[in-house]
Amino acid sequence: MKNSEKKNIWQDIKNTWNEQPQSEKINIQVSQLINEFKSKVSQFEKDSIKSDIANLNIHWNKFKKSNKINQFEKDLIKKTNTQNNIGLFIGIGTSIGISLGIAFGSVFDNIGLGITLGISFGAGLGITLWLIIQNYK
Protein backbone atom coordinates (compact mmCIF):
# COMPACT_ATOMS: atom_id res chain seq x y z
CA MET A 1 0.00 0.00 0.00
CA LYS A 2 1.37 3.41 -0.99
CA ASN A 3 2.06 6.02 1.64
CA SER A 4 -0.49 8.44 0.18
CA GLU A 5 -3.13 5.69 0.23
CA LYS A 6 -2.31 4.90 3.86
CA LYS A 7 -2.54 8.59 4.69
CA ASN A 8 -6.00 8.80 3.11
CA ILE A 9 -7.21 5.72 4.95
CA TRP A 10 -6.02 7.12 8.26
CA GLN A 11 -7.61 10.47 7.55
CA ASP A 12 -10.85 8.61 6.91
CA ILE A 13 -10.45 6.70 10.19
CA LYS A 14 -9.76 9.94 12.06
CA ASN A 15 -12.90 11.46 10.52
CA THR A 16 -14.89 8.43 11.58
CA TRP A 17 -13.62 8.92 15.13
CA ASN A 18 -14.14 12.67 15.33
CA GLU A 19 -17.48 12.74 13.53
CA GLN A 20 -18.92 9.78 15.37
CA PRO A 21 -22.71 9.66 15.52
CA GLN A 22 -23.97 11.59 18.53
CA SER A 23 -26.73 9.45 19.93
CA GLU A 24 -27.05 11.72 22.98
CA LYS A 25 -26.88 15.42 23.65
CA ILE A 26 -25.10 16.24 26.90
CA ASN A 27 -26.83 18.91 28.89
CA ILE A 28 -24.98 20.27 31.94
CA GLN A 29 -26.44 22.74 34.47
CA VAL A 30 -23.13 24.03 35.78
CA SER A 31 -24.25 26.02 38.84
CA GLN A 32 -26.49 23.15 39.98
CA LEU A 33 -23.66 20.73 39.24
CA ILE A 34 -21.24 22.62 41.49
CA ASN A 35 -23.78 22.55 44.32
CA GLU A 36 -24.22 18.82 43.83
CA PHE A 37 -20.44 18.32 43.91
CA LYS A 38 -20.15 20.38 47.09
CA SER A 39 -22.84 18.38 48.82
CA LYS A 40 -21.18 15.12 47.72
CA VAL A 41 -17.77 16.26 48.97
CA SER A 42 -19.08 17.36 52.35
CA GLN A 43 -20.97 14.08 52.71
CA PHE A 44 -17.77 12.28 51.82
CA GLU A 45 -15.87 14.27 54.44
CA LYS A 46 -18.55 13.55 57.02
CA ASP A 47 -18.35 9.85 56.25
CA SER A 48 -14.55 9.92 56.49
CA ILE A 49 -14.62 11.65 59.89
CA LYS A 50 -17.24 9.17 61.16
CA SER A 51 -15.14 6.25 60.02
CA ASP A 52 -11.98 7.76 61.58
CA ILE A 53 -13.73 8.22 64.93
CA ALA A 54 -15.08 4.67 64.80
CA ASN A 55 -11.57 3.40 64.07
CA LEU A 56 -10.10 5.42 66.93
CA ASN A 57 -12.74 4.11 69.33
CA ILE A 58 -12.02 0.51 68.38
CA HIS A 59 -8.27 0.95 68.85
CA TRP A 60 -8.67 2.89 72.11
CA ASN A 61 -10.92 0.18 73.55
CA LYS A 62 -8.45 -2.52 72.52
CA PHE A 63 -5.63 -0.50 74.10
CA LYS A 64 -7.54 -0.07 77.34
CA LYS A 65 -8.43 -3.76 77.49
CA SER A 66 -4.92 -5.02 76.79
CA ASN A 67 -3.49 -2.46 79.26
CA LYS A 68 -0.34 -2.44 77.20
CA ILE A 69 2.30 0.23 77.69
CA ASN A 70 4.60 0.73 74.79
CA GLN A 71 8.40 0.47 74.99
CA PHE A 72 8.91 4.23 74.85
CA GLU A 73 6.72 4.73 77.87
CA LYS A 74 8.48 1.90 79.73
CA ASP A 75 11.89 3.47 79.03
CA LEU A 76 10.63 6.86 80.11
CA ILE A 77 9.30 5.47 83.40
CA LYS A 78 12.60 3.65 84.02
CA LYS A 79 14.57 6.83 83.31
CA THR A 80 12.36 8.89 85.61
CA ASN A 81 12.61 6.30 88.39
CA THR A 82 16.40 6.26 88.11
CA GLN A 83 16.57 10.02 88.37
CA ASN A 84 14.22 10.05 91.33
CA ASN A 85 16.00 7.33 93.24
CA ILE A 86 18.17 9.13 95.86
CA GLY A 87 19.27 5.77 97.30
CA LEU A 88 20.88 4.86 94.03
CA PHE A 89 22.87 8.11 94.03
CA ILE A 90 23.98 7.62 97.63
CA GLY A 91 24.97 4.05 96.79
CA ILE A 92 27.03 5.09 93.80
CA GLY A 93 28.60 7.96 95.79
CA THR A 94 29.40 5.65 98.69
CA SER A 95 31.09 3.12 96.40
CA ILE A 96 33.23 5.87 94.90
CA GLY A 97 33.97 7.18 98.44
CA ILE A 98 34.98 3.72 99.74
CA SER A 99 37.31 3.22 96.78
CA LEU A 100 38.91 6.62 97.36
CA GLY A 101 39.03 5.97 101.15
CA ILE A 102 40.87 2.65 100.66
CA ALA A 103 43.30 4.34 98.28
CA PHE A 104 44.04 7.26 100.67
CA GLY A 105 43.99 4.94 103.74
CA SER A 106 46.67 2.76 102.14
CA VAL A 107 48.80 5.83 101.43
CA PHE A 108 48.48 7.12 105.03
CA ASP A 109 48.57 3.62 106.63
CA ASN A 110 45.01 3.97 108.09
CA ILE A 111 42.52 2.10 105.91
CA GLY A 112 39.74 2.18 108.58
CA LEU A 113 39.77 5.93 108.78
CA GLY A 114 40.02 6.14 105.01
CA ILE A 115 36.90 3.94 104.55
CA THR A 116 34.92 5.91 107.15
CA LEU A 117 35.80 9.24 105.60
CA GLY A 118 35.19 7.74 102.14
CA ILE A 119 31.64 6.60 103.11
CA SER A 120 30.79 10.06 104.47
CA PHE A 121 32.27 11.81 101.44
CA GLY A 122 30.61 9.36 99.00
CA ALA A 123 27.18 9.71 100.59
CA GLY A 124 27.55 13.52 100.50
CA LEU A 125 28.61 13.36 96.85
CA GLY A 126 25.61 11.18 95.96
CA ILE A 127 23.16 13.54 97.68
CA THR A 128 24.77 16.58 96.01
CA LEU A 129 24.56 14.97 92.56
CA TRP A 130 20.94 13.99 93.15
CA LEU A 131 20.09 17.58 94.19
CA ILE A 132 21.85 18.99 91.11
CA ILE A 133 19.88 16.65 88.81
CA GLN A 134 16.62 17.55 90.54
CA ASN A 135 17.32 21.26 89.94
CA TYR A 136 18.08 20.70 86.25
CA LYS A 137 14.90 18.62 85.60
Q: Are 105 and 115 within 8 A, CB to CB?
A: yes
Of the pair 10, 63, the CB lying nearest other proteins is at 10
Q: Which helix (H) or strand (E) holds 100?
A: helix 86-107
Choose between 12 and 73: whose C-beta lies nearer to other proteins. Answer: 12
Tell whether residue 5 is a contact of other proteins (CB under 8 A): no
Question: Looking only at Cα atoms, what is the longest distance across the chain?
Answer: 118
Candidate residues 8, 34, 50, 81; the one interacting with other proteins per rule CB under 8 A? 34
Q: Which is nearer to other proteins, 11 or 57 (CB)?
A: 11
Site for other proteins in 63-82 (CB under 8 A): none
- CA Rg, the chain, in Å? 41
Burial 101-118 (b: 16+ CB within 10 A, else e): beebbeeeeebeebbebb
C-alpha to C-alpha distance for 80 and 85, rounded to whole angstroms? 9
| Residue 26 dihedral angles phi and psi, to the nearest 5° | -95, 120
Q: Judged by CB under 8 A, does residue 131 bind other proteins?
A: no
Our CB check for other proteins shows the closer of 44 and 63 to be: 44
Q: Taking contact as CB under 8 A, which single stretch among the options 12-20, 79-87, 102-110, 121-129 is the one that binds other proteins?
A: 12-20
Could you say whether residue 26 binds other proteins (CB under 8 A)? Answer: yes
Binding site for other proteins (CB under 8 A): 9-10, 12-14, 16-37, 40-41
